[in-house]
Amino acid sequence: MVRKKVNILPVCNITNPETFVEKQLQALVEQKAEDVNKRIDIIEGDIIRTKELNDVISNQKRNLYNGVKWGLLIPYQLPVKIEGDGKMERAINEAMREISSVSCIRFIKRKNDGSSDDNVGVNGLPESYLNFIQGKGCYSPVGNQENGGQDISIDLDCSYKGTVMHEILHALGFYHEQSRLDRDDYVKINFENVIEKMADNFKKYEVGTADTQGFNYDLASIMHYGDNYFSKNGLKTIEVIGRKDITIGQREFLSDSDKQKLNKFYCTDYQEEYNKKNLSRMKDNIYAAY
């Protein structure tokens, strides 16, 4: 049974600033961001490396770790100083608003003046929250790391609503679509075109419940790679099997399957008791929206 939506909206009422030109440039910007990310300790282009992921990569663990689930009201924090005429903040707010509009998840803004530093989570430990930073690259860990603020880096080159949604979904527990075990039934990886040291970015895993959940492979997912990601020669690294009319790697919207997976993973009665405890604890915390 799907839970009734909580009527707490993301803060800031900012409309989507994306123009046609920005959308045309977005594919090039995405690749530039991937190039920047190569210099950071991450995998698959934008996922922060953790011990659990290292275990998977070294085959010490069969299933991907999706992290701990969040409550339905997720705290977040923005940098004290943001460069770029507010482009990053607009993209973050639009991304959160889009996710909230199609699911039970809501986001609540922490104060970044230090007054939210004593906030406590449901487990009695420092509150877990999404800590957006304007770093060099675009990346996020997968799932709730339960270690206070976990960084989601959004630099100016990837300050687009769709790209931010992609990174937030990582933080909510979702991996890339082409990491699924059944991907070879739908796409072909042209390893001869892949930068050699980036070949592990196309590895298949026995992904956890946040990824498949019984849903079919989704070529339209916002979590899917584009067809030339990590190409060493400009040729396609991924080809859709039997279809020439499909574009993969879009970063504009959540696909129907993305929405359904998100709701099935979070918006059920299974989390009811946890959410009650979480909301009760949060009443004593300090947020910018209050």
Catalytic residues: 167
Q: Check: CB of residue 95 under 8 Å from CB of residue 168.
A: yes
DSSP state of 273: H
CA distance 264 to 259: 9
Angle between helices 161-171 and 87-101 (to 10 degrees): 60
CA distance 122 to 273: 11
Tokens describing residue 82: 């943001």
3-state secondary structure of 133: strand
**Residue given tokens 């993305």 in the structure block:** 258
* Chain-centroid distance, C-alpha 213: 17
